[in-house]
Structure 1
Amino acid sequence: MGIFKIEGGVRLKGDITPQGAKNEALQILCAVLLTEEKITINNIPDIIDINKLITLLGNLGVKIQKVGSGSYTFQADEVNISYLETEAFKKEGGSLRGSIMIVGPLLARFGKGYIPKPGGDKIGRRRLDTHFEGFINLGAKFRYNREDHFYGVEAPDGLTGTDMLLDEASVTGTANIVMAAVLAKGTTTIYNAACEPYLQQLCKMMNAMGAKVSGIGSNLLTIEGVDKLGGCTHRILPDMIEIGSWIGLAAMTRSEITIKDVSWENLGLIPNVFRKLGITLEKRGDDIYIPEHKEGYQVRTDIDGSILTISDAPWPGFTPDLLSIVLVVATQCKGDVLIHQKMFESRLFFVDKLIDMGAKIILCDPHRAVVIGHDFKSTLKATTMSSPDIRAGISLLIAALSAKGTSTIQNIEQIDRGYENIDERLRAIGAKIVRA
């Protein structure tokens, strides 16, 4: 396994451009299975999880051609459905969380879809019930093999539109159900649908392919089924999680950084949450400029003087993927912050590594942590640590870049799953980081 050696305490300076959004790409790539016509997708991030999904699509028979940096064409005109029942697929699909989203398109177009229990981050239970209950509502029959954790849905006579209320506003669940419903007979309504920008992008792409999805951006989607979809060209948004990561990096290292082409209109609460931590960030066109924080950053309390609480929620609430970053940034603020991670019960367990580095954190329970800011009067200390998941990994990397001394981060494959050439991009703005 690879490691990062990081010499911390170095001020950084320069421009950094966010990669294409990982979470959007996982949905968009699965949607190419909905048509036999050619689809061009631009701004695809070159990261492990996305490359695994592209490989899986190729093994399913999708014709894939790289036409430029981050740009590919896909044509699913000779899909090999029998591959879904092979041992190779069980192993391949089980290594990637995003593989669950091939089921909806395959079910819609070919009348069946199978998937092994998906892998991904170990951040707590991530239920699949919403996905399969949606397929059942559309008329599919569900089966589950407990011995090898293999799921299947079948609808040999096609799917039929219906009204449904989701039991949770699952992003991947909503995406999967919408992709199934676009080729169903009749009209489907989905209430309590997720409405994240990446899901909006998926719906807009399918409309460009000939689907009839309305209510985009709201929690009530209406889908009028069509007989078939065609090709299109689509560009993936910049990754809002990476943008938040660079904001946190600038604050923790007290660096002057400009984040380029961030798509401000799709950032939601992210800029305001970092401003509540006392971080100055300016909108310059479609860029974010963060000046050097020489005097540190002062946390804003609530109006009544209560301790600031930052919690996650479905969009347009604050994304849970950035709570790990916010927690690290809070270790050097002026003031105290309560971090409340509601959606995943294991995501805060990496704080023991920050405590080893000298952070003042009280882990109240699996969902809540109180952070007592150092105000840079006591910087974090370098240490050796292992990356448990993508978001904790980048948080520990940011902590190491701000710490005194040389830190080692192991299991960096977790970071590479979500961040493209991160060591090269950090070195370009002055970071002292080596991959070994």
Structure 2
Amino acid sequence: MLYGIHCTEAVKGVVHYSLYISKMASFKITGGRKLQGELVPQGAKNEALQILCAVLLTKEPVTIHNIPNIRDVNQLIDLLGDMGVWVTKLKEGSYRFVASDVNLEYLDTPAYKSKAAALRGSVMLLGPMLARYKQGRIPRPGGDKIGRRRLDTHFLGFEKLGAKFHYDGDFYRVEGEALKGAYMLLDEASVTGTANVLMAAVMAEGTTTIYNAACEPYLQQLSKMLNRMGAKIAGVGSNLLTIEGVSELQGTEHTMLPDMIEIGSFIGLAAMTQSEITIKNCQIPELGIIPDVFKRLGIQMEFRGDDIHIPSQELYEVETFLDGGMMTVADSPWPGFTPDLLSIVLVTAIQASGTVLIHQKMFESRLFFVDKLIEMGAQIILCDPHRATVVGLGRHQQLRGIRMSSPDIRAGVSLLIAALSASGTSIIDNIEQIDRGYQHIDTRLNAIGAEITRL
């Protein structure tokens, strides 16, 4: 059953939803089919989680377009409604939010603890709550089990602004009656950490300088939206942000970028399945080096205006470095290569001609799904928790279908790509992980020739 949220009407503090959750669901995939057609990427998941939390910064209406219909985003919308935000669904992908009377008492209830703990993005509620209500609290947030994901950057930033931090075993709590601007050098260029501290700083007294700030396009989108609301943020797009605090923010209207991770996933899918796919409305300038990394794997692509066309390729060959050294693909802070696409690059390299080293620096558990790919027939050496060497099969043999389970969002889609390219039938269990980040992925791929059945 698909997971979806449909707002039928908005009532103060109560949002009437029809909520469908895929519990213990699986995909049955018949592999070996070539796909052909057009795919339109969904709105960006990682941007949505930041933008939705930012609606708490004002009592005026905020209208957001191109919101993806995925589990993590729908759960956050549901949580905002429970907190007292008026939520109105205007049309598919477009909502209006009015946070005129947030119920702070709800934050101490078991329901809030349960819902916020299930969602990694709930941590970004803290910055807006601290800025506007001088307090905020969340339980230890959930999310992908991909390794250590510390929250120190968030709370160190809040403390620099004058807030006090306390963890009582149930909640992370921050309080600050009079936030004051400060200079801070973030200990890591955390996207969510930068977003959280930025949202707290926009209403702090005086000037805040955030150095080593994340500068991903989604963070730039958040900054531009806040500026339209009346914030004064300079340095957008760089790793040095300067914020002049204001007393209040106004409402605005915002349209989210297409999801760059989904665009990269579709490029890898086309190459692995020898399919001809056109990805529409990609906002190519915002993709950074993502297309270039896939080109280094030998994947042909053509930019047609703002669309990316990937032709059907019998074979793609991995480049080497200029000195003949083996190609390495590693993640790094933007404008480097995003870690969310390393799993996709890894699976795409399976059928390439050549060898590539995948170096996942950030998360020590993200590559452990390769044992399933090896069972399917891939030639992969897991060197350590952070590095895997892929020896491309060069189409000399197909992967074979097996039964497997999705450990996280990106690994789940990587396994789906492998299954679509394999001979025979595969079963992927725990697909609610995939549903957390990819909107109706089975329906959309079936429309261009895939054979995926939701069990």
Instruction: Give the counterpart of 1:14 among 29, 37, 40.
Output: 37
- 1:244 counterpart residue number: 264
Give the 3-state SS of the residue equivalent to 1:5 in structure 2: strand
Cα distance in 2, alignment partners of residues 155 and 300 from structure 1: 53
Does structure 1 residue 29 correspond to structure 2 residue 24? no
Q: What's the CA shift string for 1:228-247, capped at 9, x where partnerless?
A: 00000000000000000000
Gaps of 5+ in 1: none
Identity %: 68
Instruction: Give the counterpart of 2:145 among 122, 138, 141.
Output: 122
Cα distance in 1, alignment partners of residues 78 and 29 from structure 2: 32
Does structure 1 residue 262 correspond to structure 2 residue 285? no
- 1:291 counterpart residue number: 311
Q: What's the CA shift string for 1:375-425, capped at 9, x where partnerless?
A: 011110000000000000000000000000010000000000000001100
- 1:426 counterpart residue number: 445
Instruction: Give the counterpart of 1:136 among 159, 165, 182.
Output: 159
- 1:312 counterpart residue number: 331
Cα distance in 2, alignment partners of residues 84 and 281 from structure 1: 49
Shift of 1:96: 0.2
Higher mean alpha-carbon deviation, 78-87 vs 31-40, is at: 78-87
Give the 3-state SS of the residue equivalent to 1:113 in structure 2: strand
Aligned residues: 432
Cα distance in 2, alignment partners of residues 428 and 261 from structure 1: 18
Q: Runs of at least 4 residues of structure 1 off by over 2 A?
A: none
- 2:382 counterpart residue number: 363
Q: What's the CA shift string for 1:281-304, capped at 9, x where partnerless?
A: 11100000000002x101000000
Q: What's the CA shift string for 1:222-261, capped at 9, x where partnerless?
A: 0000010000000000000000000000000000000000
Instruction: Give the counterpart of 1:45 among 44, 53, 68.
Output: 68
Cα distance in 2, alignment partners of residues 352 and 302 from structure 1: 28
- 1:223 counterpart residue number: 243
Shift of 1:61: 0.3
Shift of 1:72: 0.1
Cα distance in 1, alignment partners of residues 154 and 339 from structure 2: 20
RMSD: 0.5
Cα distance in 1, alignment partners of residues 234 and 163 from structure 2: 23
Instruction: Give the counterpart of 1:339 among 358, 366, 369.
Output: 358
Shift of 1:127: 0.4
> Which amino acid counterpart does residue 109 of structure 2 have in structure 1?
T
- 2:86 counterpart residue number: 63
Cα distance in 2, alignment partners of residues 139 and 129 from structure 1: 15
Q: What's the CA shift string for 1:130-161, capped at 9, x where partnerless?
A: 00000000000110113x3x1000012x2100
Instruction: Give the counterpart of 2:120 among 97, 100, 107.
Output: 97
Shift of 1:349: 0.3
> Which amino acid counterpart does residue 404 of structure 2 have in structure 1?
M
Does structure 1 residue 151 correspond to structure 2 residue 172? yes
> Which amino acid counterpart does residue 310 of structure 1 have in structure 2?
V
> Which amino acid counterpart does residue 114 of structure 2 have in structure 1?
K
- 1:173 counterpart residue number: 193
Cα distance in 2, alignment partners of residues 290 and 433 from structure 1: 22
Shift of 1:85: 1.2
Shift of 1:84: 1.0
Give the 3-state SS of the residue equivalent to 2:90 in structure 1: strand
- 1:253 counterpart residue number: 273
> Which amino acid counterpart does residue 185 of structure 1 have in structure 2?
E
Cα distance in 2, alignment partners of residues 283 and 350 from structure 1: 32
Does structure 1 residue 54 correspond to structure 2 residue 85? no
Cα distance in 1, alignment partners of residues 111 and 29 from structure 2: 38
Give the 3-state SS of the residue equivalent to 1:322 in structure 2: helix
Cα distance in 2, alignment partners of residues 53 and 345 from structure 1: 27
Gaps of 5+ in 2: 1-23
- 2:8 counterpart residue number: none
Shift of 1:83: 1.0
Give the 3-state SS of the residue equivalent to 2:351 in structure 1: coil
Cα distance in 1, alignment partners of residues 417 and 359 from structure 2: 20
Instruction: Give the counterpart of 1:372 among 386, 391, 410.
Output: 391
Cα distance in 1, alignment partners of residues 359 and 164 from structure 2: 38
> Which amino acid counterpart does residue 266 of structure 1 have in structure 2?
E
TM-score for the superposition, normalised by structure 1: 0.99
Cα distance in 1, alignment partners of residues 426 and 164 from structure 2: 52
> Which amino acid counterpart does residue 225 of structure 2 have in structure 1?
M
> Which amino acid counterpart does residue 215 of structure 2 have in structure 1?
C
